[in-house]
Amino acid sequence: MVTEEGDSVGTVRARDSASRGQWEDELVAVVRAVSGGLLFGVPLLYTMELWWVGEHTDAPQMLLILALLAVVLIVLNLTAGFRSTQDVRLRDAAADSVKALAIGIVVSATVLWMLRVVTVETSAFSAMGKIVNESVPFCLGIGVARFLLSGRPGLSDEKDEGGASASGSGTRPLNASVAELGATVLGAAFVGLSIAPTDEIPMLTSSMDPPWLVVVVVTSLVASYAIVFVAGFARQGDRHEQEGIFQTPGVETIVTYLASLVVAAFLLWLFQRDVWPASNLLDQMIVLGFPATIGGAAGRLAL
Amino acid sequence: MRSEGTLAESVTLALCAAVLAVVVGVILFLGPDKDDPPAPVASTEAVEQVGDEFHVTVVVRNTGGRTAANVQVNAELVVDGETTAGDQTVDFLAPGNEASLAFVFADDPSSGDLTVGVSGFLNP
């Protein structure tokens, strides 16, 4: 027999669970947006000309950039977007565009701060110019996050879970580990190749002391984990359950980060960058390792 | 197709709208007065002896309303009638921003006459 009190407790629990579900869903959507922005925006973050453009962007130009971005984001949200399901109604697309714009600005500001391009000594208006210019690729990345992170624009979380277990169950652990490592190296090399020969790496490194480099390491690890194990719904359920040499989420994130650092070191050597003594090499590996890690995460998603 | 908006979505939307309001506010109200021309000004910040040399830290700050490009900063030290000079270039200096430079002299600046200044810049 179900009492009235029991009924009421059950209803409250069900409501709590549904409430937790909606918050979790929204958090995952935001993480996915951040991940899409990072995948698309990071290569342009290491472009000093874009920082300089921000120094002399005036107020009407900044507002025009934001307005144009909002329009483009509405169109992208109607076709791709950062949610697991597509926005059909214009008001949903408009609401998601406001979120995409704000998330893009916050993420680009955070990464510019992490790279010491924007500091407390930068004037507010100058910092805003840099952030608004850098947020363009970030926002576009957020607008196509579903496509970037699933590989197919029409794929949703629900569809993926069914397909994932079918495709993943037959893979041998060693082969899976080698494939993940290979994809990481390829992805890291793909992104790192265009950044390693530039002067931005030594320039950024020169403004960072050891504690700041630790911040870069931690951010790289968090970004890699978020892209592959939180935001990427391509085979995500399968990824959490895979068996292999390093295929628990935490270990995989660390091992693939180390692989990205090795790729960064190789690229710095390949382009004959001035990296000696060893402490200088380590510093530059860490700074180049951030985009390389994000490229590596994208490589693993493509598997 | 998406379901009706949840409380979580509404809260995120409110937070994001607040972020955008702050951004637009900074752009509209903290912008420099564009009618003022660029005005980079150099000043000596510190003098430090490093080995046999003297490092003079010079800070150049743009107190004007527009960005200055290719800012030429020079320093001149006269000791016992002998002049030593150096110059450096700052690529971009936005309104309110500053750049820190170091000039190296063989003589002690305190024993002579040191002048630092901006000799010119480009309007980007």
A213-245 tens-digit pLDDT? 999 999 999 988 888 887 755 555 566 556 666
Interior angle at CA A6, CA A3 and CA A8, nearest 5? 110
Taking CB atoms and an 8 Å limit, are A59 and B96 in contact across chains? no
Domains contained in chain A, number: 2
pLDDT at B72: 95
Q: Name which of A14-28, A102-116, B7-21, B23-37 the model is least confident about.
A: A14-28
Same domain, A107 and A179: no
pLDDT at A226: 86
pLDDT at A181: 86
CA distance A294 to A290: 7
Query: Which tens digits make up the pLDDT trace of B25-74?
Result: 988 887 766 667 889 999 999 999 999 899 999 999 988 888 888 999 99
B16-to-A30, A146, A280, B45 alpha-carbon distances in Å: 11, 20, 39, 42
Residue where the block lists tokens 């091992």: A255
Same domain, A177 and A300: yes
What are the tokens at B92? 């971009």
- A124-143 and A90-114 helices, crossing angle to 10°: 130
CA distance A209 to B49: 23
Q: Which residues of A touch B22 (CB under 8 A)?
A: none
Q: Name which of A82-91, B4-13, B96-105 the model is least confident about.
A: A82-91
User: pTM here?
Assistant: 0.76
Residue where the block lists tokens 């329009």: A71
Query: Which tens digits make up the pLDDT trace of A244-288?
Result: 666 688 888 898 899 999 999 999 988 877 767 777 788 899 999
Given its phi and psi angles, is residue B80 left (phi above 0), alpha (psi -120 to 50 degrees) or beta? left
Same domain, A86 and A206: no
Least CB–CB distance from B8: residue in A22, A102, A124: A22
Same domain, A27 and A88: yes
CA distance B52 to chain A (A): 25
Taking CB atoms and an 8 Å limit, are A106 and B27 in contact across chains? no
Query: Which tens digits make up the pLDDT trace of A60-82?
Result: 899 999 999 999 999 888 887 78
Domain boundaries, chain B: 40-122
Taking CB atoms and an 8 Å limit, are A102 and B24 in contact across chains? no
**CATH class for the domain made up of B40-122:** mainly beta
Taking CB atoms and an 8 Å limit, are A129 and B94 in contact across chains? yes
Q: Between B1 and A145, where is the model more confident?
A: A145
Cβ burial A217-234 (10 Å sphere, 16+ → b, else e): eebbbebbbbbbbbbbbb
Among A42, A50, A26, A83, CA closest to A219: A42
pLDDT at A32: 84
- A210-225 and A90-114 helices, crossing angle to 10°: 150
Residue A160 lies in a domain: no
Residue A129 lies in a domain: yes
Least CB–CB distance from B27: residue in A95, A99, A128: A128
Q: Name which of A6-15, A173-182, A234-243, B6-15 the model is least confident about.
A: A6-15
What are the tokens at B52? 């046999």
CA distance A174 to A179: 9
Interior angle at CA A253, CA A250 and CA A256, nearest 5? 145
Residue A222 lies in a domain: yes
pLDDT at A165: 41
Residue A165 lies in a domain: no
Exposed/middle/buried for residue B51 (C-beta within 10 Å: 0-12, 13-18, 19+) = exposed
ipTM greater than cut 0.95 = no
Q: Between A139 and A43, where is the model more confident?
A: A139
Cα dihedral A204, A206, A212, A215 sign:
positive
Instruction: Report the percentage of chain A scoring pLDDT > 70.
Output: 77
pLDDT bracket for residue A154 (50, 70, 90): very low
CA distance A232 to A272: 35
Instruction: Domain of residue A250: give its range.
Output: 172-303
A107, A132, A148 — which closes off a domain? A148
Interior angle at CA A133, CA A221 and CA B33, nearest 5? 130
Residue A10 lies in a domain: no
Taking CB atoms and an 8 Å limit, are B27 and A102 in contact across chains? no
Same domain, A54 and A142: yes
Q: CA torsion A166→A172→A176→A178, rounded to 10°?
A: -160
B91 touches chain A (CB under 8 A): yes
Least CB–CB distance from A126: residue in B1, B20, B97: B97
Same domain, A303 and A177: yes
pLDDT at B47: 92
Asked if A297 and A224 count as a contact pair (C-beta separation under 8 A), the reply is yes
Residue A246 lies in a domain: yes
